[in-house]
Amino acid sequence: MTEPRKALVAGAAGGLGRAFIERLRGHCEIVALGHLELDVTRRNDVFDAIREHKPDLVINAASVSDVDSCEIDRWQAYLTNRDGAKHLAMACAEVGGLLVYPSSDLIFDGSKQTPYREEDPPNPLSIYGDTKLAGELAVMSHAPKHLVVRTGWLFGAYGRSYVTDLLAWRGTEEVVLGSDDQRSQPTYQLDFVDAVLELVKKGRTGVWHTASEGDATQYEVAQAAYEILKVKRVEVKPLRRGTGGRSALRPRYSVLDCSKLYGAGIQVRSWKAGLRAFLASAAG
């Protein structure tokens, strides 16, 4: 596949869906379906939508992505992240479309002390991680043409993230807490989307790790953000895992090895460069 002819974005009203739409606009016909237009947990509705539009590219941005809320409403998390992925995969198989399934570094348990490769065995610690892994398996089992793209935690203009919280807190808080014992890859939303769409253009399929270069803790991200913003009145303090009222377990180390991506000629800039770009756009 080079440029897609028609792309259907499921979960189009969410943060990641909106980011994909921004980058796809002007390059192909876009069918943007939010939850109100398409509930991916309803199998027949999914098949009807795919049959009607016959897209050659489907972006599954429909996800329950609040890691802690998945521990509370487990049924909805599985319905959306696993069953919704299966429904889209089966429908894509019928029309021959390529299905893109964004996944997560949280499918790993953090026991490894070097970056995780695509073939490393998963072992999720949380319901969210388990549902995303189940979604991956459903996609790989039912969609002959699929692209599973794992990434770190995303930040950007669309949707809420720790970085958008930092922007809000700079004017209201004197002390900000950031986890300092969970190391992963903060990744600018648009950088992730650009890398995924480059994989699509190159006709790549299978499982890929697609995240920013470098790794950091939330504490380090907060320090960097306020340094870039020249915010001096807010003190950043480290927060240890197990405090702060979060219910889902997270791996202490979930850095992804993106050498396969680099080997395909696709580079994602560093998280600091992505952070600087986002903060500049937010200030503008």
User: Would you name the residues annotated as active-site residues?
Assistant: 128
Q: What is the DSSP string of 24-86?
A: HTTTSEEEEE-TTT--TT-HHHHHHHHHHH--SEEEE------HHHHHHSHHHHHIIIIIIHH
**Partner residues linked to 30 by β-bridges:** 7
Identify the H or E element spanning 146: strand 146-151
Q: Which residues contact 30 (CB under 8 A, 6 or more apart)?
A: 6, 7, 8, 9, 21, 24
Q: What angle do CA 40, 46, 52 make, to 5 degrees?
A: 145
Is-contact 256 105, C-beta < 8 A? yes
**Which are the contacts of 187, defined by CB distance < 8 A and separation ≥ 6?**
151, 152, 153, 154, 155, 211, 212, 268, 271, 274
Between the CA of residue 190 and those of 18, 22, 136, 155, what are the distances in Å? 10, 9, 22, 9
Q: Name the strand (E) or helix (H) holding 187.
A: strand 187-188
81 contacts: CB under 8 Å, gap ≥ 6:
63, 64, 128, 131, 132, 134, 135
